[in-house]
Amino acid sequence: MRTFLHVSDIGDIEKALAEAAEVKKNPFAWQHLGRNKTIILIFFNSSLRTRLSSQKAAMNLGMNAIVLNVNGDSWKLETEMGVVMDGDKPEHLREAIPVIGSYCDIIGVRSFAQFENREFDYNETILNQFIRYSGKPVISLESATVHPCQAFADLITIEEHKAAPRPKVVLTWAPHPRALPQAVPNSFAEWMNAADVDFVITHPKGYELAPQFAGNARVEYDQMRAFEGADFIYAKNWSSYTEYGKILSTDRSWTVGKRQMDVTNNAYFMHCLPVRRNMIVTDEVIDSPRSIVIPEAANRVVSAQVVMKRMLEGLQN
Amino acid sequence: MRTFLHVSDIGDIEKALAEAAEVKKNPFAWQHLGRNKTIILIFFNSSLRTRLSSQKAAMNLGMNAIVLNVNGDSWKLETEMGVVMDGDKPEHLREAIPVIGSYCDIIGVRSFAQFENREFDYNETILNQFIRYSGKPVISLESATVHPCQAFADLITIEEHKAAPRPKVVLTWAPHPRALPQAVPNSFAEWMNAADVDFVITHPKGYELAPQFAGNARVEYDQMRAFEGADFIYAKNWSSYTEYGKILSTDRSWTVGKRQMDVTNNAYFMHCLPVRRNMIVTDEVIDSPRSIVIPEAANRVVSAQVVMKRMLEGLQN
Amino acid sequence: MRTFLHVSDIGDIEKALAEAAEVKKNPFAWQHLGRNKTIILIFFNSSLRTRLSSQKAAMNLGMNAIVLNVNGDSWKLETEMGVVMDGDKPEHLREAIPVIGSYCDIIGVRSFAQFENREFDYNETILNQFIRYSGKPVISLESATVHPCQAFADLITIEEHKAAPRPKVVLTWAPHPRALPQAVPNSFAEWMNAADVDFVITHPKGYELAPQFAGNARVEYDQMRAFEGADFIYAKNWSSYTEYGKILSTDRSWTVGKRQMDVTNNAYFMHCLPVRRNMIVTDEVIDSPRSIVIPEAANRVVSAQVVMKRMLEGLQN
């Protein structure tokens, strides 16, 4: 495994879930793989879960983990090619990336969508430079369009909690005061479309996800109808893809509350966190026994560890 | 040991001091306890000694240490319950804490008094949320009202340097340009009251510590009289507890200098550091051979290591 | 080895190069030396390569590495003696240094020239306080006047790439929008003067390096003439030493491009990075096959590891 961006990178999903279960049961069983290996985790943006769970996963595997905050620790990085660098950015990604690559065995990169240019973001321009120039396996720790470690952890969590063999899973948009990237819903949709679930997306008009992520998922604009009989509710805000980066609605009737949960099949509530309480979801729902946001976050160690383990296995050859 | 805030958490003081001596002599003898264990050290505020000594103590015990600067690395955290989170804080402590707890075995938290509300601070509202919601043992790395790792290190240092079996120890207020928390004098008073020393507190009127920390310590408003015959002088600034967070005096005659030290029993000079030279203490005193601020700071590794060791022992069961 | 600032600290250069080759071949062969040893890496300034390569070198040697960003993580430090500390700096270097020393076995310090006072900078006032007060071996990770880990890595890189036994090496000034320290050219000159190379320095008038670093190197003010027949071109900007910290020229004809490289002996292009493209060097040259800036940066692990290894060997006695 050389890159981890898309569900296709993980190969057979059932096999990946079985491996996740094994890793969760015996987290320290593969430390021979990580001996004298180093992962560098690069953050262009804030992070709590990703930062901590990636370090934990690396340590479980016996690896060294080095964390780099690009803006606090290091030099501001120029990302455009061909420019005269006479401004406030003293280093170019074109040098920084192969240098970082020369100091480690695996690279993880957090680099959010910048919302200046949809094509720049949707080409995963930053992450693809890491893939092209580092010479090392690269993990997206949430990049411009995807958050695969999260989506894999979500799938593991659904697998652990599902009662029916093919549960109904609903991804619902919810309001938020700031314009957020589509990375989490994109990856969640991509992974649910690949998994054995009945998947529905619900959001106000104008919030359609990019077609390559929405795939053939059923889209339902009536949130209450979408929630009927659901086994899992996955709430998340995102900004518009079509009117790129715009906030088209702040309709608080989409805030997930008891009213909506009552029409589900006693659904579990999920969210990737951080979550704005009483905007995305009411205190009542997120504090209820059906809220599984904490076990979901805990599974971030498991998903990261499976990915790193496979990359380490690839390095053995 | 599930929490470390108060002197009562350490149990028998003589036993704790004996254990500290053992740990100092053989710092690497308990690495089996820390194998595959992780401590997360969370900083809401700046730190030098605590940050470094806690990492060192964890490494001595064979543990992994992950450091998280809440404001630089991660998301700003909401701490109030029941609010609509539509402001600048994208994550609630109520999620962040159990998530952090799920990624580690022990948590250390630095979170200073905020001085907005004495009850909020003196209830240790932030730290108690970590204790309640993390599911993991929690160490105060200086919280709103206590700094127990410091006070334990202070006690170890007094034990190592005392000539008489029951030395006279004086805690003296000293001036400072900014309003500082009471955490250090609170803990120092609490630990000295529990230890076998003759303990005196001296400060201008209005600087009385909270009764639960001052206990039955003798309070002397005349600094020179308090210093007479002292074996250890412990200087520290703090703001008023009664007029909460206020600076009531900037009287430089309280700056510890040769004049005061001359009436002591050739006392050792102590301070938790960082110290403002020529405000708290003159260069002459802090640079004298009787100043033991550096060995005192060095003992921060020892106190932290005893605490972590006991917590790790508790995890074995 | 107790300090690493100057080429003289490394002793015999041929022996050091042979050791570097050995370390590069078997990076993990000396982990017994680093067992239970800790290096603290202190950054007063930004860093990418130094930060990462020093951590990697320490890990290769089995050491624990603790990174401290003085301004982000810790307290602002007072550096002047004898002052009344009533301003915005709560801690004095005079305490911070021995405290840090008490928590580790080796210290690395990044502390750039401040350009306020040439004597303060050229006395290496900050670094020398670390040497004097820490009680531990100290490595300059670029201090006011030197960057020895870089210069040693440069020498290793030249050794690996040279075709002739005594190659011609040219250090050339190049324009830059901001006033930069002389640390890199100082150390490069010092190391080249000590090595078996034909060394030439070229720069506009007024950019003469301090005599203790320039030594007997040939200075050539005509860049094209300097480049004739060169085997290695080492580009770097620096501000004036004589008119201390001033920018005397922004002449873009000094930007290293094809025109200049064409008169060399098919020279390799080197730069310590970060580099401002199309200011210091054109895209065409830095992206050419003769550019060795990435292997040069990769050798930063090797040079750091040789230095740390020797310091660890010194601790065994």
The answer to whether residue C41 scores a pLDDT higher than 80 is yes
Q: In this structure, are residues C246 and C179 in contact, taking their beta carbons and an 8 Å threshold?
A: yes
**Residue-level pLDDT at B76:** 86
Closest CA to B156 of B222, B232, B86: B232
**Residue-level pLDDT at B135:** 96
User: Same domain, yes or no, for A122 and A156?
Assistant: no
Q: Do A95 and C69 touch (CB under 8 A)?
A: no
**Residue-level pLDDT at C79:** 87
User: Same domain, yes or no, for C229 and C183?
Assistant: yes
The predicted complex's ipTM stands at 0.95
Q: Do A275 and B66 touch (CB under 8 A)?
A: no
**Residue-level pLDDT at A75:** 84
> Measured between CA atoms, how close is C213 to chain A, in angstroms?
26
Given C64, C82, C83, which is nearest B59 (Cβ)? Answer: C64
**Residue-level pLDDT at B71:** 79
The answer to whether residue A253 scores a pLDDT higher than 70 is yes
Residues of C in contact with A105 (CB under 8 A): none
Where do the DSSP E strands lie in B7-63?
Answer: 38-43
Q: Do C103 and B53 touch (CB under 8 A)?
A: yes
Domain total in chain B: 2
Query: In this structure, is the dihedral angle defined by the CA atoms of residues A104, A105, A107 and A108, taken in order, positive or negative?
Result: negative
Q: Do C95 and B53 touch (CB under 8 A)?
A: no
CATH of the domain at C261: 3.40.50.1370
The answer to whether residue B132 scores a pLDDT higher than 90 is yes
Confidence of residue B80 (pLDDT cuts 50, 70, 90): confident
Nearest CA in chain A to B73: A46
CA distances from B51 to B43, C60, C111 (A): 8, 24, 20
Phi-psi region of C269 (alpha: psi -120 to 50; beta: other; left: phi over 0): beta
**Radius of gyration, alpha carbons of chain B:** 20
User: Same domain, yes or no, for C160 and C63?
Assistant: no
Residues of C in contact with B43 (CB under 8 A): 73
Confidence of residue B317 (pLDDT cuts 50, 70, 90): low
User: Same domain, yes or no, for C54 and C99?
Assistant: yes
Q: What is the pLDDT averaged over residues B221-232? A: 98
- CB neighbour burial string for A129-152, b if at least 16 within 10 angstroms, e if fewer: bbbebbebbbbbbbbbbbbbbbbb
Confidence of residue A317 (pLDDT cuts 50, 70, 90): low
Q: What is the pLDDT averaged over residues C110-116? A: 95
User: Same domain, yes or no, for A271 and A308?
Assistant: no
Q: pLDDT tens digits for B142-184?
A: 999 999 999 999 999 999 999 999 999 999 999 999 999 999 9
User: Same domain, yes or no, for A95 and A130?
Assistant: yes
User: Same domain, yes or no, for B235 and B287?
Assistant: yes
> Measured between CA atoms, how close is C10 to chain B, in angstroms?
29
User: Same domain, yes or no, for A118 and A254?
Assistant: no
User: Same domain, yes or no, for B140 and B160?
Assistant: no
Confidence of residue C72 (pLDDT cuts 50, 70, 90): confident
Q: pLDDT tens digits for A57-114?
A: 999 999 999 999 987 778 889 988 899 999 999 999 999 999 999 999 999 999 999 9
**Residue-level pLDDT at C135:** 96
Q: pLDDT tens digits for C234-274?
A: 999 999 999 999 999 999 999 999 999 999 999 999 999 99
Residues of C in contact with A32 (CB under 8 A): none
Q: What is the rounded distance in angstroms from the CA atom of residue A84 to the CA atom of residue A95?
A: 15
Mean pLDDT of chain A: 97
Q: pLDDT tens digits for A2-48?
A: 999 999 999 999 999 999 999 999 999 999 999 999 999 999 998 99
Q: What is the rounded distance in angstroms from the CA atom of residue A223 to the CA atom of residue C190?
A: 71
> Measured between CA atoms, how close is A74 to chain B, in angstroms?
14
pTM: 0.96
User: Same domain, yes or no, for B168 and B68?
Assistant: no
Six token digits for residue A155: 């799938």
Q: Do A73 and C51 touch (CB under 8 A)?
A: yes
User: Same domain, yes or no, for C273 and C307?
Assistant: no
The reply to whether B274 touches chain C by the CB within 8 Å rule is: yes
Six token digits for residue A140: 């997206």
Domain carrying residue C49: 3-146+300-316
| Collapsed DSSP state (helix, strand, coil) of residue B72 | helix
Phi-psi region of A255 (alpha: psi -120 to 50; beta: other; left: phi over 0): beta
Nearest CA in chain C to B175: C86
Q: Which helix or strand (DSSP H or E) is residue C286 part of?
A: helix C283-286
Residue with tokens 């029409």: A263
User: Same domain, yes or no, for A227 and A279?
Assistant: yes
The answer to whether residue B74 scores a pLDDT higher than 90 is no
**Residue-level pLDDT at A241:** 98
